[in-house]
Amino acid sequence: MSWISAMITSLTDPINSIFLSKVVYVARHMFQTNPDSRYTIDDIEKGERVEKEKNQKELWAQILDMKNNVRVITSSPTETSILKNLPEYQHVRKIGSGYFGNVHLMKSIEHPEKMVALKIISLEKSVTIIENEYCINRKLMSNEFIIKVFGMSNHSGNCYLTLEYADGGDLFDMTCGQKPMPSELGHHFFKQLLAGVKYMHSQGVVHRDLKPENLLVFKESATLKIADFGYAKYFLHEGNEVWFDEKQYGTKKYMAPEAYTELRYRGPPTDVFACGLVLVAILTSNLLWESAEKLDADYHSWLSGNSPDIEHWSSLDPGVVYLIRQMLQDNPDFRYKIDDIEKSDWMHMKRDQKKLWSQILDMKNKVTFTSSPTEVSIQKAKRKKMVNNSCVF
């Protein structure tokens, strides 16, 4: 589709037409010839352009649709020929795509039972990010809750990262549009996430992009592992803590509020804030807001102490609601630290082990990306139907 036809399509879409008309309204006021009538910065910020234009269901349906569409991007001829001629591995299929490149499932020729994920990143994207991801991942991968990276090489304008393969997909696939994760299983995975983050911080590293899409699940061992260290940074230098000043990092919906309001901010509390939002996604299959800014109506309501208007929130245990509140404190000085979370009542609640193992077995029986290409296509079709019918974001 040409850019002209794409533009026409977007303009004829009813939702986009309404949205664009509001943008045009604001733009007209920005370009007034009389400076006295021209919009000021405050007028623009208060305008309808920054208000929520779509409800949570529509927003997340679009995100899911985008994720599915991204995954079907075809590999370049050069990439395909390289995959066919790797000396140690046989190409099985493509399992994912993203802004930085494609991910392929590879099988060892010498040991066919051994599967790895090969991440192919164009060196045109960002050499610094690639090197940073590899070096930090290598440093941390001895921990059982951090994904392992086996090697990195450059060839034909691409960088190749060989990674541990997660047969259960990512946490996003297990939560969005599904019923909330059972409390025992959710508690089980959250403890593992917390252990992985605690280890990272002990090594002087902040992840800065913790979200369900970057948390991979290994079904056989019922283990969750942290992946994708492209935005990770060291926050300790020669024993001294380094503060950050970037106003944009990782994924906006999981960014901490201090990144918007402070000139400089500490790293570890931003990871804790993201973990709080991941816990909400695990237990409710929802997100609380689009961004942790006071201009966001949902976030402003949260700061006022109101309960979020999302499905399944009212059925949460009061102990976990209190914990989430402390992890999502607006002021990072008052926000729970990892040690505080570990000591919380909800983390120490006794769990029904029989229920947990029943839930783990149920998870193992679900179709994932280890299936055949035909089954994967069926799964994607079901997922699109799920978005249209029952996604409650």
Annotated binding site for ATP: 119
Q: How many CB atoms lie within 10 A of CB 157?
A: 11
What whole-number distance in Å separates Cα of residue 174 and Cα of residue 278? 12
Q: Is 36 a catalytic residue?
A: no
What whole-number distance in Å separates Cα of residue 303 and Cα of residue 297? 10
Residue 217, both tokens: 């699940």
Do residues 140 and 156 lie in contact, with contact meaning Cβ atoms separated by under 8 Å?
no
What whole-number distance in Å separates Cα of residue 79 and Cα of residue 101? 11
∠ CA 137-288-60 to the nearest 5 degrees? Answer: 80
CA distances from 141 to 131, 145, 154, 235 (A): 15, 8, 21, 18
The half-sphere exposure of 264 on its side-chain side, counting CA atoms within 13 A, is: 5
DSSP state of 188: H
Do residues 287 and 349 lie in contact, with contact meaning Cβ atoms separated by under 8 Å?
no
What whole-number distance in Å separates Cα of residue 261 and Cα of residue 273? 15
DSSP state of 328: T
What whole-number distance in Å separates Cα of residue 227 and Cα of residue 283? 21
∠ CA 281-134-65 to the nearest 5 degrees? Answer: 35
Point out the annotated binding site: 119
Q: Write down the catalytic residue from 170, 173, 209, 296.
A: 209
Q: Go through the chain and tell me how many residues it has.
A: 393
- Give the residue from 31, 30, 32, 7 showing the smallest Cα distance to 20: 7
Q: How many CB atoms lie within 10 A of CB 84?
A: 9
The half-sphere exposure of 156 on its side-chain side, counting CA atoms within 13 A, is: 10
- Give the residue from 224, 221, 293 showing the smallest Cα distance to 252: 293
Instruction: List residues with catalytic annotation.
Output: 209
